[in-house]
């Protein structure tokens, strides 16, 4: 067991997979400059810098994936995916189906997302739902170093195009990672904390926010179960429903804006399949329908905070005795 950061976990996953499979290669804007270790070990053929042109990067990945390579591309910041939508959505996502199954697209697209670095809206946009909504793609958004490593390795081995979102604020967060190979399968959620009174469903760095809130709730005598979705497509419906049925109260937390977000889907799944188990209406706590601001204070307000999670849980629990500032917040 080692303590490594999320960024180190990503590098380890890349190196291990490139070592294991000579068909894996990586390219993107500054990839060879920023990942000197990979360049030194695997050479300039397999670790390549590209022009600042996301369309051709993603298209090249799709063409290469369909014909025998397993590319990983780094498109830097999630909003830049707008330039690569045609290649990712229309080509990689659709050409398997359109061709009657003649081709597969084993490729991974890495992009940074999320608030916390005050980079503003053109570098910070949580647009995972766009890709969840597109057939043929898979979408992964981990919350901790072990999952980053295990899910990236699985994504590279998957025969489908996988969007791998790296929440920017998590990059330097350390975590325990097993020294031996630990693959984390796509499509399986994790119980980040067991509880019995309320279920909090989240993903990416908001999982940590929810865990912090769960600590506060525990002090109030409320036992919160925190589910980390990890993979948004395929989505672990069973884990969602199991926990919803167990507690009967569900809060969904994500930083992306509410309308047509992943939370809407999770809420609908529970309503369709576990309505009878619900003791209160499902609540969503999300970012606003606004571009992400750069100002540090506004950016903090953009992200759901632990206090807001506590308040939302209190609403779900009904008129219960909360102590201190949590109660004031509910009454406010």
Residue 56 touches another protein, criterion: CB under 8 A: yes
Task: Supply the minimum distance, in Å, between the C-beta of residue 58 and another protein.
Answer: 7
Residue 284 touches another protein, criterion: CB under 8 A: no
Binds another protein (CB under 8 A): choice among 24, 32, 81, 91: 91
Residue 44 touches another protein, criterion: CB under 8 A: no
Per CB under 8 A, the segment of 85-93, 205-213, 216-224, 318-326 that binds another protein is 85-93
Binds another protein (CB under 8 A): choice among 15, 16, 55, 120: 55
Task: Supply the minimum distance, in Å, between the C-beta of residue 235 and another protein.
Answer: 14
Cβ atoms of 73 and 49 within 8 Å: the answer is no
Binds another protein (CB under 8 A): choice among 50, 143, 154, 267: 50
Footprint on residues 102-121 left by another protein (CB under 8 A) = 102-106
Task: Supply the minimum distance, in Å, between the C-beta of residue 45 and another protein.
Answer: 6
Reading phi first (left if > 0) and then psi (alpha if -120 to 50, else beta), residue 121 is in alpha
Task: Supply the minimum distance, in Å, between the C-beta of residue 269 and another protein.
Answer: 18
Per-residue contact flags (x/-) with another protein for residues 229 to 248, judged by CB under 8 A: --------------------
Tell which residue, 236, 231, 198, has the closest CA to residue 214: 198
Element (H, E) at 2: strand 2-5
Cβ atoms of 31 and 75 within 8 Å: the answer is no
* CB-nearer residue toward another protein: 138 or 193: 138
Residue 129 touches another protein, criterion: CB under 8 A: no
Is-catalytic flag, 54? yes
Beta bridge partners of 73: 27, 109
What distance in Å separates the CA atoms of residue 164 and residue 177, rounded to the nearest whole number? 19
Residue 254 touches another protein, criterion: CB under 8 A: no
* CB-nearer residue toward another protein: 14 or 224: 14
* CB-nearer residue toward another protein: 51 or 319: 51
Task: End-to-end CA distance of the chain: give it in Å, rounded.
Answer: 45
Task: Supply the minimum distance, in Å, between the C-beta of residue 27 and another protein.
Answer: 9
How crowded is residue 52: how many other Cβ atoms within 10 Å of its Cβ? Answer: 11
Total of residues contacting another protein (CB under 8 A): 43
Beta bridge partners of 70: 24
Residue 51 touches another protein, criterion: CB under 8 A: yes
How many helices (H) and strands (E) would you count in the chain?
14, 14
Element (H, E) at 200: strand 198-202
Element (H, E) at 174: strand 174-177
Residue 139 touches another protein, criterion: CB under 8 A: no
Biggest CA–CA distance in the chain, Å, is: 63
Contacts of 293 by beta carbon, 8 Å cutoff, 6+ apart:
120, 121, 299, 302
Residue 185 touches another protein, criterion: CB under 8 A: no
Residue 160 touches another protein, criterion: CB under 8 A: yes
Task: Report phi then psi at 75, rounded to 5.
Answer: -100, 20
Residue 25 touches another protein, criterion: CB under 8 A: yes
What distance in Å separates the CA atoms of residue 18 and residue 23, rounded to the nearest whole number? 8
Q: Read off the DSSP letter of residue 89.
A: I
Summarize as ranges the residues that interact with another protein (CB under 8 A). Answer: 23, 25, 45, 48, 50-51, 53, 55-56, 58-69, 71, 86-87, 90-91, 95-106, 135-136, 138, 159-160
Q: Which residues are catalytic?
A: 54, 123
């Amino acid at each position: 067991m080692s303590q490594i950061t999320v960024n180190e976990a990503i590098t380890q996953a890349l190196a291990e997979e490139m070592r294991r499979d000579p068909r894996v290669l990586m390219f993107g804007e500054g990839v060879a400059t920023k990942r000197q270790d990979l360049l030194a070990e695997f050479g300039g053929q397999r670790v390549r810098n590209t022009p600042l042109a996301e369309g051709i990067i993603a298209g090249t990945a799709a063409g290469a994936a369909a014909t025998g390579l397993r590319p990983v591309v780094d498109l830097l910041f999630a909003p830049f995916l707008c330039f690569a939508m045609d290649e990712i959505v229309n080509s990689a996502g659709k050409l398997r189906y359109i061709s009657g199954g003649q081709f597969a697209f084993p490729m991974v697209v890495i992009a940074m997302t999320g608030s916390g670095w005050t980079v503003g809206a053109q570098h910070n946009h949580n647009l995972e739902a766009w890709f969840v909504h597109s057939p043929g793609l898979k979408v992964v958004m981990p919350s901790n170093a072990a999952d980053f490593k295990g899910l990236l390795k699985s994504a590279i081995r998957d025969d489908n195009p996988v969007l791998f979102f790296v929440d920017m604020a998590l990059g330097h967060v350390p975590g325990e990672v097993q020294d031996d190979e630990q693959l984390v399968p796509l499509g399986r959620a994790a119980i980040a904390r067991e509880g019995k009174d309320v279920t909090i469903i989240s993903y990416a760095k908001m999982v940590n926010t929810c865990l912090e809130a769960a600590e506060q709730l525990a002090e109030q005598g409320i036992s919160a179960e925190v589910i980390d979705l990890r993979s948004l497509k395929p989505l672990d419906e069973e884990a969602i429903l199991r926990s919803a049925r167990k507690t009967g109260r569900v809060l969904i937390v994500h930083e992306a804006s509410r309308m047509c977000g992943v939370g809407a889907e999770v809420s609908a799944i529970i309503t369709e399949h576990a309505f009878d188990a619900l003791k209160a209406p499902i609540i969503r706590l999300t970012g606003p329908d606004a571009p992400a601001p750069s100002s540090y204070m506004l950016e903090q307000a953009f992200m759901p905070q632990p206090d807001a999670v506590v308040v939302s849980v209190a609403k779900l629990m009904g008129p219960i005795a909360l102590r201190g500032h949590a109660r004031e917040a509910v009454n406010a």
